[in-house]
Amino acid sequence: MGRRKLVRDLLREKQADLTASERKLAAVLQDGQLVPGLQSITKLAESAEVSTPTIVRLARKLGFDGFNDLQDAIRSDVADAMKQPLAKLDPGGPMPGGDHMLSRFVTAVSDNINRTLERLDTAAFDRVAGVLADPSRRLHLLGGRITRSNAAYFFNHLQIIRPGVTLLDSAPSVWPQALLDIDGGAVLIVFDIRRYEKGLEKLATLARGQGAEIVLFTDIWGSPIERHADHTFRAMVEVPSAWDSTLALNLLIEALIAEVQARRSDSSAQRIAALEDMIGESRIFRSGQGAAD
C-alpha cells in the first residue's frame, strides 16, 4: 500500500469543490501549517469562525471518516515535518532482508527520485526555467544549514551560464544590504527543508514585500516559505539516516541547469568559452606550477 496523500495536498486538490465556509477553514489550516487542526473540533471551529458541521463536512470531502480521522492524519503530517535527527535513527521495524546500508540507501534514494518526479508539474518546471534563463532577471540564491551546498552548486552553474547571479551570504546580519537589490526585477531562489529556518522565512517575506519573485525548493511537507513562493518544488527526502537526503532536490537542480543552458545555448557557449580563455590566461589549473610562478 502506498503512502496516503498529505492533508495539505488534499486541501489544494479539493479547493474547487469546497463551499465558502470550507475554503475559510482550509485557509486557516494551510496558513497555520496544519497546526490549528490539532485543536479540539470546538476550538478549531471558533478560531476559523465556522461551525463544527463544516469541519466534519470538510474532513469527509478530503476522504476521511470524520474529524478524528482527519486530525490523526494532520498529527502524522506535522510530526513528520518536525521529526528530529535522533528520531530518524529509529527505523520503526526490522529492515528487509538485513540488506547492507548501501543497498537500503540506494533503494530509498531511488524511491525518493521516482516519487518526486511523479509529483512534478512539468509546466511549472518550464515556467521556472524561463524565468531563470531571462537575463533581465537578477537571481539571488540562498540555502539553509543543510541545503547551503545545494544553493552553492546551483549558483556555480547558473553563474557560468548567465550574468546577474548572486549567492547570498549565509550570515543573516548581511541580508539587509542584500535586500537593497532584491526588488521587483529580482528572483529569490531559496532552499529550506524540515526543521525549517525562521531566518529564511523572514528573508523571503521581506523579499516578497519588495516585489521579488520567489522560487522555493523544499521537502514533501513544505516549508512555511511556500505561502510566499511563486513557484515551489517539493522533493522526497527521507532515507535510512539521521539526516535528510537532498539528492532528489539536486536532480531537479541539474535538470533546470540543463534546460536553462539549452534556452541560452548561444550566449552561454560564449560565456563558457570566455571562461576557458580566462582559465588559460590565469594558468590556475595548469599542472606543474611551482611557488615561484
Name which of 219, 63, 210 is nearest 150 in CA terms.
Answer: 219
pLDDT at 288: 53
Q: What is the CATH number of domain 113-280?
A: 3.40.50.10490
Q: State pLDDT tens for residues 32-41.
A: 778 888 888 9
Segments of the chain assigned to CATH 3.40.50.10490:
113-280
The residues of the chain that CATH labels 1.10.10.10 are 7-81
pTM over 0.85: no
Residue 83's pLDDT band (boundaries 50, 70, 90)?
Answer: low
**Whole-number percent of the chain with pLDDT over 70:** 89
The SS3 call for residue 207 is helix
- Could you list the beta-strand ranges (E) of the chain: 138-142, 165-167, 186-192, 213-219, 231-235
CATH 3.40.50.12280 at 7-81, yes or no: no
140-174 residue pLDDT tens: 999 999 999 999 999 999 999 999 999 999 899 99
Cα distance between the two ends of the chain? 64
